[in-house]
């Protein structure tokens, strides 16, 4: 039996993604940003599937941010996993969903080197293209990410094969590189956009991992610092 997590990230529901409203919303609010066309997204997805390393009962998708707690696609299962050769980083400036141009937030991307604890989501073979098309409508609406097949392992280090992961595109204008940690904390504690606050994004990612029995020291530290900042703002 397939399942989908409850929609918890503002407007990012299946229905919203299928409606095509997301790119229209971005175009209205950020007229200077270049959006991918339907043909480009389709070609990107087809290229990924052409490079599919394994064929069988579905594919893995690696979740390291909001996909953990709001995938918005039907999944056949999930499990703890690590992306090998990549690490989680707040390196994508957010000026719409969880921030504004005047007070930008910051979101996660996968950057090369290291290991990233996260969750792999199993997308069943039946309906595979439709579910991945929804995923592409969500993650590839602009040019912030580069989809790749990345090696993943379970919590004990045993290889699980390869998973689709949306890695950061460092050659596009929303990439913000190595921000000082104090700046990241400031953005996470203060930014708000159409999908909610940047702090919610951080806390729900941390909590989504915790529900799977996963502790990420980096996210724990950031959550502690953002909580302290929020408390100081409220005083």
* Span 156-206, pLDDT tens digits: 889 999 999 999 999 999 999 899 999 999 999 999 998 899 999 999 999
Residue 108 in 3-state DSSP?
strand
Task: Kindly report the CATH number that applies to the domain delimited by 14-234.
Answer: 3.10.490.10
Residue 3 pLDDT > 50, yes or no? Answer: no
Closest to 73 in 3D by CA, of 8, 134, 145? 134
Query: How far, rounded to the nearest angstrom, does the alpha carbon of residue 162 sit from its chain's CA centroid?
Result: 17
Q: pLDDT tens digit string along 50-68?
A: 999 987 889 999 999 999 9
Counting Cβ atoms within 10 Å, is residue 139 exposed (0-12), middle (13-18) or buried (19+)? middle
Residue 105's pLDDT band, with cuts at 50, 70 and 90, is very high
Asked whether 198 and 188 are in contact (CB, 8 A), the reply is yes
Q: What is the mean pLDDT of residues 150-156?
A: 94
Domain ranges of the chain: 14-234
Q: What residues are annotated to the active site?
A: 139
DSSP for 17-81?
HHHTHHHHHHHHH-TTSPPPPHHHHHHHHHHHHHT-S--SSEEEEEESSTTTT---S-BSEEEEE
């Amino acid at each position: 039996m397939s399942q989908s997590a409850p929609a918890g990230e503002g407007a990012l529901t299946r229905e919203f993604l299928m409606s095509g409203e997301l790119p229209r919303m971005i175009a209205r609010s950020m007229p200077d940003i270049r959006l991918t066309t339907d043909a480009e997204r389709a070609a990107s997805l087809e290229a990924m599937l052409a490079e599919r390393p394994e064929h069988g009962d579905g594919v893995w998708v690696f979740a390291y941010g909001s996909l953990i707690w709001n995938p918005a696609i039907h999944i056949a299962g999930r499990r703890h996993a690590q992306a090998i050769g990549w690490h989680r980083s707040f390196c994508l400036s957010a000026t719409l969903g969880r921030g504004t141009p005047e007070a930008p937030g910051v979101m996660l991307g996968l950057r090369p080197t290291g290991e990233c604890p996260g969750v792999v989501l199993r997308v069943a073979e039946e309906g595979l293209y439709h579910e991945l098309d929804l995923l592409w409508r969500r993650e590839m609406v602009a040019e912030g990410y580069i989809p790749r097949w990345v090696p993943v392992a379970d919590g004990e280090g045993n290889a699980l094969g390869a998973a689709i992961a949306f890695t950061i595109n460092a050659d596009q204008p929303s990439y913000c590189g190595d921000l000082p940690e104090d700046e990241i904390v400031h953005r996470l504690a203060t930014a708000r956009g159409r999908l909610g606050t940047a702090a919610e994004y951080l806390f729900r990612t941390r909590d989504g991992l915790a529900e799977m029995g996963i502790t990420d020291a980096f996210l724990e530290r950031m959550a502690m610092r953002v909580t302290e900042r929020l408390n100081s703002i409220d005083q």
